[in-house]
């Protein structure tokens, strides 16, 4: 009986064995799909406080930061994650292309992480690009994202996988406002 | 008119003074920050920014009033515009409370309003000592349960009402608590105490956590022992779990569980520098569980350890970047139990796990061996156990299957009542909303020397 049940369990497990859900793979496809549909996109840039010594992050590091599994910068300062409102396109882009999750999954992930103590703080929610800029300017450990058109000199852009937003192959793009 | 101008000038003078003060303070703070990043914390900066926001709003308000006054008093607009920009500043009196300041500010009708309100709230919360900085999240469940065990009745049951409390004590210290209201009698190693249908309160977690960096976090208090995966992943919330309950391998002590689920002591955890392998460690030292058998009191030694020997636990696990959602690891727990009027029992618990958690898939596998060696004799009792659980999400539905097994020797000295039990569970979870889950689960359990038990459980789990 035990053997039979184990066999059933293995068969079921194999049947539902997941295909890899590589975060970031959808970024290319979404950009490509947008291009195919003739929809304009603009780069979404990752920004930090100017005093932050970090200039570059890999996609994997970015995912860890946005999922709260990495909570400190290399200099020991605590990471404060800045997110936009759930309705914002920029947030949806980050969730899809960096976290590989939808809104509900992201919320559950943070709730679970806070519950276990693995995640120290939940993200700071700000509703405007100006608010994001101001917050990141004032909080040394903050990290967030903005459309490239919302950038100014008060904050610093971080390279992702060695690429700047204007470089070819940069993965994070969001539909332009006109396309909304 | 002259009086009005004087008022405006006085107001402007105050704003100038306050602006200078703020600029001076701001530059001082930034200088401090550059020289010593630890001096000024985020909260302070936020407070200052909130203050600046308030003052900016006040400036705008006064400028508008001035403009109105000028218009009403017939002053030429260009006269007002020729006033120096810096003259348009009036300080907000320090004695003004945050509430009245906020009310007087008349929020600017621009897009920054929500952020401004957040800063104001943060400041008022921080400065108002009559308010707490507690955050509370609740979890609960209600079940309809029936089984074929002799004497059991089909019943509606209130599950644990779990209040999860957190508070950022400071930038690096955090409090975590879990207060559980629970109905029903307790069952410690087969000994029932208390009475059914009455509620009791348990403080299930109670810890202060210090986070130094990603490589070193330390907690003191009552924690869930880092044995295996399940125990530290789901704690007391059924809503977070796919199934209606824990595997019986990880049952709580007061539900007849065999493991030291809770420990009072100190726990350190963090990353191990290992690149893409993503290694983590957990090291714990604590009171362990009580030694007395039979045991009719709380087995978690919250206040007094019954011996000087301390329980030790070490766990390590990997979360490789190459396979998102995979976690594999092991733990080793060591304690010595000293039952009254009986030889000491050395307890070693070896556990291993491999779990794959992705938004749409879940596959949990854990196995452990609980080894009890009676001191001064060659008697060793090994209790093996495992479970495997798999589920897949289809829209709002998540069917799942679990098989679990635990085998306790007949003459096991610590928990002889558990015996052999194993069997499958199948169920379906339906997420009725983002905070409410309806679960239907069927369990079939084989028992040593007893009739098999079929059980059906309909549960609604929720968070609030």
Q: Which sequence spans correspond to the domains of chain B?
A: 2-127, 134-463
pTM metric for this prediction: 0.71
Residue A113 lies in a domain: yes
What three-state secondary structure class fits A109?
helix
CATH superfamily of B134-463: Porin (2.40.160.10)
Find the CATH number of the domain harbouring A46.
3.40.190.10
- Select the residue of A70, A102, A141 nearest B214 (Cβ to Cβ): A70
Give the H/E segment covering residue B457.
strand B453-463
Q: Which residues of A touch B172 (CB under 8 A)?
A: 78
Question: For B116-170, what is each residue's pLDDT tens digit?
Answer: 455 445 555 555 666 667 889 999 999 999 999 888 889 999 999 999 999 888 8
| Pairing of the two strands A56-57 and A155-160 | parallel
| Residue A131, number of CB atoms within 10 A of its CB | 23
B114 with A126: Cβ contact below 8 A: yes
Q: Which residues of A touch B397 (CB under 8 A)?
A: none
ipTM higher than 0.85? no
A18 with B42: Cβ contact below 8 A: no
Higher pLDDT, B73 or B434: B434
- Select the residue of A1, A69, A115 nearest B237 (Cβ to Cβ): A115
Mean pLDDT across the stretch A82-108?
Answer: 90
* Token digits of residue B130: 């009559």
What is the structure's pLDDT at A136? Answer: 93
For residue B461, CA distances in Å to B94, B143, B176, B177, B305 come to 49, 9, 22, 20, 35
| Residue B397, number of CB atoms within 10 A of its CB | 11
B42 with A80: Cβ contact below 8 A: yes
Residue B230 φ/ψ, nearest 5 degrees: -60, -40
Higher pLDDT, B133 or B111: B133
What does the mean pLDDT of chain B come to? Answer: 78
Residue of chain B nearest A22, judged by CA positions: B324
Q: Find residue B364's DSSP bridge partners.
A: B355, B389
Question: For B58-106, what is each residue's pLDDT tens digit?
Answer: 777 777 666 655 454 443 333 333 333 333 333 333 333 233 333 333 3
Task: Name the residue with tokens 């994070």.
Answer: A172
Question: For B171-181, what is each residue's pLDDT tens digit?
Answer: 889 999 999 99
Residue of chain A nearest B421, judged by CA positions: A2
Question: Which of A 45-64 lie inside 8 A of B, CB atoms?
Answer: 51, 60
**DSSP label of B82:** T
Mean pLDDT across the stretch B43-56?
Answer: 76
Q: Which residues of B touch A111 (CB under 8 A)?
A: 137, 240, 463
Residue A5 lies in a domain: no
Residue of chain B nearest A110, judged by CA positions: B240
Residue of chain A nearest B53, judged by CA positions: A134
What three-state secondary structure class fits B101?
helix
Which of A111, A127, A161 to probe the B interface (max B CBs under 10 A)? A111
Distance from CA of B388 to the nearest CA of A (A): 8
Task: Say how far apart CA B147 and CA B133 lie, in whole Å.
Answer: 45
Distance from CA of B115 to the nearest CA of A (A): 6
- pLDDT surpasses 60 at A121: yes
Rg, chain A, Cα only: 19
Residue A2 lies in a domain: no
Distance from CA of A167 to the nearest CA of B (A): 25
Which positions ≥6 away from B338 have C-beta within 8 Å?
B291, B306, B307, B309, B344, B345
Number of domains in chain A: 1
Structural domain for A87, as ranges = 23-179
B176 with A117: Cβ contact below 8 A: yes
Range B29-56 burial, b when 16+ CB lie within 10 A, else e: eeeebeeeeeebbbeebbbbbbbbbbbb
Environment class of residue B5 by beta-carbon count within 10 Å: exposed (0-12), middle (13-18) or buried (19+)?
Answer: middle
Interface contacts A/B by beta carbons within 8 Å:
122
Question: Which of B 50-109 lie inside 8 A of A, CB atoms?
Answer: none
Task: Say how far apart CA A136 and CA A81 lie, in whole Å.
Answer: 9
What is the structure's pLDDT at B341? Answer: 77
Q: Which residues of B touch A138 (CB under 8 A)?
A: 45-46, 48-49
What is the structure's pLDDT at B461? Answer: 95
């Amino acid at each position: 009986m035990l053997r039979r049940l184990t066999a059933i369990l293995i068969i079921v497990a194999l049947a539902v064995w997941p295909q890899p859900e590589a975060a970031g793979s959808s970024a290319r496809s979404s950009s490509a799909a947008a291009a195919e549909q003739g929809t304009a996109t603009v780069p979404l840039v990752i920004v930090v406080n100017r005093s932050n010594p970090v200039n570059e992050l890999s996609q994997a590091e970015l995912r860890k930061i946005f999922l709260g599994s990495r909570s400190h910068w290399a200099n020991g300062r605590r990471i404060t994650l800045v997110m936009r409102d759930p309705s914002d396109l920029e947030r949806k882009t980050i969730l899809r292309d960096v976290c590989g999750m939808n809104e509900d999954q992201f919320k559950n992930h943070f709730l679970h992480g806070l519950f276990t103590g693995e995640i120290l703080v939940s993200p700071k929610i700000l509703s405007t690009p100006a608010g994001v800029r101001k917050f990141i300017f004032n909080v040394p450990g903050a990290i967030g994202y903005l459309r490239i058109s919302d950038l100014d000199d008060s904050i610093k852009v971080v390279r992702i996988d060695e690429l700047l937003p204007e470089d070819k192959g940069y993965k994070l793009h969001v539909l332009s406002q006109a396309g909304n | 008119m002259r009086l009005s101008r004087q008022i405006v000038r006085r107001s402007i003078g105050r704003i100038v003074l306050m602006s200078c003060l703020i600029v001076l303070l701001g530059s001082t703070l930034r200088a401090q920050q550059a020289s010593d990043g630890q001096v000024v914390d985020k909260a302070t900066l936020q407070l200052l920014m909130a203050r600046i926001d308030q003052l900016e709003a006040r400036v705008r308000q006064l400028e508008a009033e001035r403009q109105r006054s000028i218009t009403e008093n017939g002053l030429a607009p260009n006269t007002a515009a020729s006033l120096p920009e810096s003259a348009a500043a009036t300080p907000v009196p320090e004695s003004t409370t945050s509430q009245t300041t906020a009310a007087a500010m008349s929020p600017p009708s621009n897009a920054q309003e929500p952020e401004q309100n957040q800063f104001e709230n943060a400041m008022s919360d921080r400065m108002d000592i009559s308010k707490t900085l507690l955050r509370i999240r609740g979890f609960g469940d209600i079940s309809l349960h029936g089984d074929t065990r002799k004497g059991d009745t089909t019943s509606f049951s209130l599950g644990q009402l779990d209040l999860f409390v957190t508070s950022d004590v400071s930038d690096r210290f955090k409090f975590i608590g879990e207060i559980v209201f629970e109905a029903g009698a307790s069952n410690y190693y087969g000994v029932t105490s208390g009475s059914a249908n009455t509620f009791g309160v348990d403080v299930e977690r109670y810890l202060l956590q210090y986070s130094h960096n990603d490589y070193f976090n330390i907690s003191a208090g009552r924690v869930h022992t880092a044995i295996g995966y399940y125990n530290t992943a789901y704690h007391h919330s059924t809503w977070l779990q796919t199934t209606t309950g824990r595997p019986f391998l990880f049952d709580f002590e007061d539900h007849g569980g065999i493991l030291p689920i809770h420990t009072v002591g100190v726990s350190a955890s963090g990353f191990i520098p290992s690149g893409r392998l993503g290694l983590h460690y957990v090291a714990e030292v604590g009171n362990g569980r009580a030694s007395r058998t039979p045991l009719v009191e709380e087995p978690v030694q919250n206040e007094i350890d019954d011996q000087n020997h301390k329980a030790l636990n070490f766990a390590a696990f990997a979360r490789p970047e190459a396979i998102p959602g995979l976690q594999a690891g092991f733990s080793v727990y060591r304690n010595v139990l000293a039952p009254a009027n009986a030889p000491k029992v050395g307890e070693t618990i070896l556990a291993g796990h491999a779990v794959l958690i992705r938004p749409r898939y879940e596959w949990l596998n854990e196995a452990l061996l609980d080894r009890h060696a009676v001191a001064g004799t060659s008697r060793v009792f090994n209790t093996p156990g495992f479970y495997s659980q798999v589920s897949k999400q289809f829209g709002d539905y998540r069917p799942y299957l679990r098989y679990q097994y635990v085998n306790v020797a007949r003459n096991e000295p610590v928990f002889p009542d558990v015996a052999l039990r194993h069997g499958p569970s199948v169920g379906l979870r339906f997420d009725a909303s983002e905070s409410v889950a309806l679960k239907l689960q069927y369990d079939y359990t084989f028992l040593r020397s007893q009739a098999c038990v079929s059980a059906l459980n309909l549960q609604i789990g929720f968070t609030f």
